[in-house]
Amino acid sequence: MEKTVKGVKRTSKDQALLLIKGIILGIGIIIPGMSGGTILVIFGIYERLIKDILELHFKPYLTMGFGVVIGVFMGGTILSYLFQVYRDPTYTFILGCLLMSIPFVLKRSNGNSVVNLLLLIFGGVVSLSLVSMPPLMEGGSLSIGNTFLAGFISSSTMMIPGISGSAVLIVLGIYEEMLLLIKEIQIANLLIFVIGAFFGVFILAKVLNTLFSKYQSQILYFFSGLILGSSRLLFPSEIGVLTIITFILGGAIVFKWGNFKYK
């Protein structure tokens, strides 16, 4: 991204590029296994964005933010439709995305250790316990508290490169319901989610980034355990040619994405 210097006006080409980057980011954060933080690193704006957010300096990102909204609604609408019409193939596509993301998450750690492996197992147990609990959905809609919590947690974890915010929603058991909110454009609930997301970014992002700089391997192994345990929710009711193909496709997309070099 260009330096945000006062008095320097971006050209139409610059604005169009920011819009496209925002759309890519919006679609990317909807797909489990793809990390918004990683996308920002690839775009070369991660560190600057974190600093500007904490300093409440939003103006340089308005165009990109608009693109993110477009991308989220595009991706959310498509995935919500696929869940309704092609549930099992969509499940296995996301399952492929999730499972393939784990090696790339762990690749950024400093290697195996007894502590790391125990944290991986602990993360898996925690995640399995969460997905075994009654769903957060009750009465056909997410509660205000759960919607706020979803935005709070997913946005803060999304700021960590390598961690997928959508994968966190799957761990919480509300990913599909959040897609439905997007598809149906439920403004009130989406605003609650966004408010939670802002709180998450300001309160947890700084803390998580500080912890991440000190305990990177431990956090990555724990999150990998969470992702692994949550994958149980995505097992298809029937296995066929189409579910196998979509599983491979999901894994292939994340594999290709994971092999990008950080710039």
For residue 64, give the nearest of 124, 118, 10, 132 by alpha carbon: 10
Is 181 within 8 Å of 143 (Cβ atoms)?
A: no
Question: Domain for residue 188, yes or no?
Answer: yes
| Region of 238 on the Ramachandran plot (φ > 0 left; ψ -120 to 50 alpha; else beta) | beta
Is 69 within 8 Å of 24 (Cβ atoms)?
A: no
| pLDDT tens, residue order, the chain (263 aa) | 444 444 446 677 778 888 988 898 888 888 776 677 767 766 767 767 777 777 777 787 888 888 988 998 888 888 888 888 888 998 898 888 878 878 877 876 777 788 888 999 998 888 777 666 665 544 445 678 888 888 888 887 777 666 777 777 877 777 878 888 888 888 888 899 889 888 887 776 677 667 777 887 888 888 788 778 877 777 888 888 999 999 999 888 878 776 654 44
Q: Which two tokens stand for residue 125?
A: 């147990």
Question: Domain for residue 7, yes or no?
Answer: no
Question: Domain for residue 173, yes or no?
Answer: yes
Question: Domain for residue 205, yes or no?
Answer: yes
Domain count, the chain: 1
For residue 2, give the nearest of 38, 50, 43, 56 by alpha carbon: 43
Q: Is the pTM of this model over 0.75?
A: no
Question: Domain for residue 85, yes or no?
Answer: yes
Domain containing residue 215: 12-258
Question: Domain for residue 263, yes or no?
Answer: no
Q: Of all helices (H) and strands (E), which one includes residue 58?
A: none
Question: Domain for residue 1, yes or no?
Answer: no
Question: Domain for residue 2, yes or no?
Answer: no
